[in-house]
Amino acid sequence: MNYWLMKSEPGECSIDDLAKAARQTVPWIGVRNYQSRNYMRDQMQVGDGVLFYHSSCPEPGIAGLAVVASSAYPDETQFDKTSDYFDSSATRAAPRWVHVDVKLVRKTPLLGLHRMREEPTLATMLVLRRGNRLSITPVTAPEWLAVNKLLGRV
């Protein structure tokens, strides 16, 4: 099993939006970074753990736990000329962008970025590195356990 931190702006898709979605599952659309795409395409597996992270908001941090609910498949927004995520270089024969579905496990109290930075066991988390802008990053098993401890789950 792998673990991931997946960032979403609450105005785009919040943990509450995920909780209200049909089957509490949403497609993780709009990823337009090759490394993040490659994580979804090449490494994510159904059942992998997800730290659902609110970004670009007044208080960024982990807002819930989820799981990867599908294998990667083409992100339809790349073909939609009216979408903010349209990519004129993508074709149905050779899609450039993929996504996975993410299913809610549970909403949690927000584990804020400031609190995460204070925790020595999380010092290696990629999301805490200065300049990291990836929307999806791997999380190690010890980091996953540490976050779950901080959330009162262990």
pLDDT, mean of residues 42-56 = 97
pLDDT, mean of residues 114-143 = 94
Q: Which residues pair with 142 in a beta bridge?
A: none
pLDDT tens per residue, range 54-113: 999 999 999 999 999 999 999 999 999 999 999 999 999 999 999 999 999 999 999 999
Q: Is the pLDDT of residue 154 over 60?
A: no
Q: SS3 breakdown of the chain: % helix, strand, coil, rounded to 5?
A: 30, 30, 45
**pLDDT band at 152; cut points 50, 70, 90:** confident
Domains of the chain, first to last: 3-150 (3.10.590.10)
Alpha helices of 4-153 — where are they, by DSSP H? 15-20, 34-38, 113-118, 141-150
